[in-house]
Amino acid sequence: MTLDCLKVELVFGKSGLSVFISEKASRIDIFNTKDIKAEKNLFVKYKRKLFDFLNNHKGFKSVCIVIPDHTRACPTMELLSPLLKILACREIKILIGTGTHRNSTKEEMTEMIPSDYLAFASSHDYKDENNLVQVGVIDEIPIKLNKQYVNSDLKIAIGLIEPHFMAGFSGGRKAIIPGISGWEAIAYSHGNKILASERTKTGNLRKNPFHDFITRAVSLCSPTYCINALIDRNRKPIDVFCGSMKETLKSGSGFYSRKQAVEIRNLYDVVISGCGGYPLDATLYQGIKGLVTAAGLCRNGGKIYFFLEGSEGFGSERFASFFSKHYDWESLDSIFSEEKKVELDQWQIQLLKKYASGKQVIICSDYLCETVFPPLEFLDTKSAKELIENEKGSIAVIPEGPYTFFKLL
């Protein structure tokens, strides 16, 4: 580190990471999420909403509560605990919406679910046809959902509203598809045609084919009640939106767009980005979300330093196989045709190609630094930090990665 360097803290893993940028750079802009204070008496108001809801839904015998899995920074424990305390129901099922992810470990479950209710919790398995029920057909695609959810009198979905690179914003309907659905709906919504659309992108709900499809599909068997949180830079809830699937998404995404959007007018020569820290940056699979955000600020021919802890590696064997079997973007094109059958996890590779092509992308991770995949570079964090100190062009820094929402003017 030289004396004429600016120190910047990236959100990285559980402890953070410092990088040093030369003050000789032509321009340095640091984009943090805005510091928004939590709604006053947030959880008093939240509990009141729960009481009002349950007073209007008496007589139910069974309830299924869908919660996000370990890959999400949702304050699940804080949202779930008050709900469980006031539910006057003996037949309670807590369903972890894993989508196609691995099951949450026991340790991860104890971070999300009160210990007294762990015995009532299970992870969804999208491959288990015996535990799926078809609730209808949308666009010739059979919509199958978890049997425990479908057969429950009361269906409650807990989630997080944040920018999402496919759905526009997460929350609401995403808890159900892909959270607790069968493969057919996941494959179609994450398929080549929908992902190729320019409207399938972060922050966009208007005519977004991904959002439109899963909304129509989930409407066949909607949650009775949705509980969606917004979080601050410390991953603490600042507001909780409750109500129907469409109401909560509209209110939560509107709040995020108004309060958190960062407007930019220029693209940058160099973008340095974190990936939101744990749990999002534990795998490259989840980390692609942060890379998409960084790519949106980088000019064609520019350079991206993407810092990812990567303590769990690629995230799945299937995802890792794309990197070992292919050597350039062109060799991947054959699996992205609309006629081609969708393969598990290929959507992350398709989006990586869509946003990283034409840019020099450097994945900075001590766990993944020996990876060889010529369209990208993989470096250890020390080597990457040394290179950054010598960058002289216009530089954008995104410490919190995908949690920062940009609007290009």
In percent, the amount of the chain with pLDDT more than 90 equals 72
- Residue 190 CB coordination number (10 Å): 23
Whether residues 55 and 126 share a domain: the answer is: yes
Q: What's the pLDDT tens digit per position in 237-246?
A: 999 999 999 9
pLDDT at 94: 97
Q: Is residue 98 part of a domain?
A: yes
Q: What's the pLDDT tens digit per position in 368-395?
A: 999 988 889 999 999 999 999 999 999 9
Residue 39 — pLDDT band, cuts 50, 70, 90? confident
pLDDT at 259: 87
Mean pLDDT, residues 209-225 taken together: 97
Which residue intervals of 10-57 are DSSP H helices? 42-55
CA distance 56 to 323: 52
Whether residues 279 and 372 share a domain: the answer is: yes
Residue 409 — pLDDT band, cuts 50, 70, 90? confident
Q: What's the pLDDT tens digit per position in 258-293?
A: 988 899 999 999 999 999 899 889 999 999 999 999
| pLDDT exceeds 60 at position 2 | no
Whether residues 124 and 238 share a domain: the answer is: yes
Whether residues 123 and 105 share a domain: the answer is: yes
Whether residues 327 and 346 share a domain: the answer is: yes
Whether residues 131 and 88 share a domain: the answer is: yes
Whether residues 242 and 335 share a domain: the answer is: no
Whether residues 244 and 318 share a domain: the answer is: no
Whether residues 249 and 269 share a domain: the answer is: no
User: Terminus-to-terminus CA distance in the chain, angstroms?
Assistant: 35
The CA–CA distances, whole Å, from 299 to 200, 338, 407 equal 20, 28, 15
Whether residues 270 and 393 share a domain: the answer is: yes
Mean pLDDT, residues 292-305 taken together: 96
Whether residues 155 and 301 share a domain: the answer is: no
The domain boundary, picked from 197, 224, 259, lies at 259
Q: Is residue 36 part of a domain?
A: no
DSSP 181: B
| Average pLDDT of every residue of the chain | 92
Q: Is residue 35 part of a domain?
A: no
| pLDDT exceeds 70 at position 71 | yes
Domain harbouring 372, CATH code: 3.90.226.30
Q: Is residue 37 part of a domain?
A: no
The domain containing residue 253 runs over which residues? 42-259
pLDDT at 368: 95
**What predicted TM-score, i.e. pTM, was given to this entire model?**
0.90
Q: What's the pLDDT tens digit per position in 163-207?
A: 999 999 999 999 999 999 999 999 999 998 999 999 999 999 999
Q: Is residue 214 part of a domain?
A: yes
Whether residues 283 and 242 share a domain: the answer is: no
Domain harbouring 135, CATH code: 3.40.50.11440
Domains identified in the chain, total number:
2
Q: Is residue 96 part of a domain?
A: yes
The domain boundary, picked from 195, 228, 259, lies at 259
Mean pLDDT, residues 111-140 taken together: 96
The domain boundary, picked from 239, 259, 279, lies at 259
